[in-house]
Amino acid sequence: MTTIIHLLWIILPIAGTFLFYKFKPKTYESLLLHKKEARELAVQFIKRYSGIDVSDWDFYAMYWYDRNTVNMLHHLGLLNKVRHILYHWGLVESWRIRFVRENRSVIIGINSNGEITFYTANLSKKEMAKHKGAFSSPEQLKKELAVSDNGLWAASQFTGAGRKEEDLENIETYWYIAESQPVRMKITVEIHNGQIFYIGSEQEILTEDIETAVKKEQMESTLNMTGVLASCLAVIAAIIILINLRQNAGITASILLGAVLFFCNIITIKEDIQLSIVNTYDSRLSIKTVYALGILSAILAGLATGFVVYICSLAGHSLSNVLQIAFFDNAVWQFFVGLSVGIGCLGFFSAIFSWLEEKNWLRISPELSNRTIYLSGFTFKQGLSIGLQSSIAEETVYRLLIIPTIWWLSGNWALAIIISSILWAIMHQGTGFHPRWIRWIQLVVFGIILGFFFIQFGFLSSLTIHFIYNFILVMKPLWDYTFQKKLKASETFKQPSV
């Protein structure tokens, strides 16, 4: 009998791997420009249209896409119809690049066509005035910025111009509109003495059903708060349990889990700071100050999440001892079972999702779900951090703490698993899945599986299942993207010179 069970744990991951490979999540080939190419285009644009050479300035870049517009289109069922427009207009697959030097800053957006779609120059107008304007009219500017026939600027139409006074200087403004049903983009270009210092846009979705999408957006924002609320309630419950139980078990293991969460926040400090510089840099601060504040924020966030995991695991471990649920006991066997079930679940749910999509009963947005190539802006280190943080934090609260607590109070372990699974599913927004209730059902089923293996085998088994599942889904797009880049580089290298 034991041999048959061991054989089952070997067959399960093999079957899961086969199913995942056959029904692997759909992704789209990334058209994202190479970072070096995007940087060169940015340097050329800034020098030509603002008169500033930023080639030796500090350089920061991040992948960018307009999540709000993509999410709205997804809820309205229009995303597949207009996805090509999003590419060409720079609403997905774009770079945001910031150049910094002393108290000066320039941020620029470049789409997959190599077109400039966003620009803000925090520069002295006196410094810019040393350079003569590079264009003479709105139409000439549009023509120069249009890189391809199907790009943003080729689709835009000049709609008017105006003047305003700012800091005793006259600012000339050009307005353009690009429209392709149901998406409209209003573009504003601000110019001083022939130099561009601002390009911005505002997106609209032209449909009568927009109110439906707005309500769904509001629902997602509300659900987004449940994770924070759950953490607060979990800490309070854990403290009450520790006071009433009057026994602490597994202090060392709890410290270890908290330390891992702290470590996950620390290992991505550099990437997180660089993203914050691109997004929200204030040129009144030095880069050293930004780094110092970023490191301090990461340490505080790491301590906060580490404390939540520590206190919840301490209470959950103590209750688990009372209910005779294993923690890290027989760790090798728990890990092996978790690895097997995690891969099996990955293949099984991939097959189910693929079948539902084929029947048109489910629509999944690669741009919004964790199945997407659009995570290509991430690094492998960030993928590891995300996988560890989500699995440890969620398993500690929803399995290790909530299941023993409900079981202890009700005397029914099945009820404890079901309630914890429902709470865990509600905590997830279901973003990128329509209708989202199918995603929530899948999460409830997955939560029941995690809860069952937590009770039957121990905490490490459910933790491993959750981590393997999340880690592979997050890392797959990164592996695909890296492979694509290497393949393109290899093909370029093999091409004979002319």
Question: What percent of the chain has a predicted confidence (pLDDT) above 70?
Answer: 84
Q: What angle do CA 235, 470, 312 make, to 5 degrees?
A: 15
Encoded amino acid at 483, one letter: F
The confidence band for 492, taking pLDDT boundaries of 50, 70 and 90, is: very low
Encoded amino acid at 182, one letter: P
Nearest in space to 433 (alpha carbons), one of 78, 182, 87, 71: 71
Return the pLDDT at 134. Answer: 65
Could you give the CA distance from residue 456 to residue 470 in angstroms, rounded to a whole number? 22
The residue ranking higher by pLDDT, 245 or 359, is: 359
The residue ranking higher by pLDDT, 342 or 67, is: 342
Return the pLDDT at 283. Answer: 73
Q: In the predicted model, is pLDDT for residue 372 greater than 60?
A: no
Mean pLDDT of 26-35: 75
The confidence band for 126, taking pLDDT boundaries of 50, 70 and 90, is: low
Return the pLDDT at 404. Answer: 93
Q: Which long-range contacts (CB under 8 A, 24 or more apart) does 476-480 make?
A: 476/24, 476/25, 476/27, 476/371, 477/27, 477/371, 477/372, 477/373, 477/374, 477/375, 477/376, 478/375, 478/376, 478/378, 478/379, 478/380, 478/383, 480/27, 480/30, 480/373
**Is the distance from CB of 469 to CB of 439 less than 8 angstroms?**
no
Mean pLDDT across the chain, nearest whole number? 84
One DSSP character per residue, 271-305 reads HHHHHHHHHH--TTS-HHHHHHHHHHHHHHHHHHH
The residues, ordered by sequence, that sit 6+ positions from 263 with a Cβ below 8 Å of its Cβ are: 302
Greatest C-alpha distance within the chain: 87
Could you give the CA distance from residue 232 to residue 301 in angstroms, rounded to a whole number? 14
Q: Tell me the per-residue pLDDT of 92-110, one tens digit each, with 9 for 90 and over.
A: 888 999 999 887 899 999 9
The residue ranking higher by pLDDT, 325 or 5, is: 325
Return the pLDDT at 467. Answer: 95
Return the pLDDT at 239. Answer: 86
334-369 in b/e form (b: 16+ CB < 10 A) is bbbbbbbbbbbbbbbbbbbbbebeeeeebbbbbbbb
Q: Tell me the per-residue pLDDT of 8-18, one tens digit each, with 9 for 90 and over.
A: 888 888 899 89
Return the pLDDT at 353. Answer: 92
E-strand ranges in 403-474 read 433-434
233-237, 406-410, 442-446, range with the lowest pLDDT: 233-237
Q: Tell me the per-residue pLDDT of 449-487, one tens digit each, with 9 for 90 and over.
A: 999 999 999 999 999 999 999 888 888 777 776 766 665
Q: Tell me the per-residue pLDDT of 163-192, one tens digit each, with 9 for 90 and over.
A: 876 665 678 899 999 988 889 999 999 988
Q: In the predicted model, is pLDDT for residue 139 greater than 60?
A: yes
The confidence band for 41, taking pLDDT boundaries of 50, 70 and 90, is: very high
Q: What angle do CA 268, 270, 276 make, to 5 degrees?
A: 100
Q: What are the residue boundaries of the structural domains of the chain, listed by start?
A: 35-205, 225-487
Q: In the predicted model, is pLDDT for residue 300 greater than 70?
A: yes
Question: What percent of the chain has a predicted confidence (pLDDT) above 90?
Answer: 36
Encoded amino acid at 183, one letter: V
Q: In the predicted model, is pLDDT for residue 57 greater than 90?
A: yes
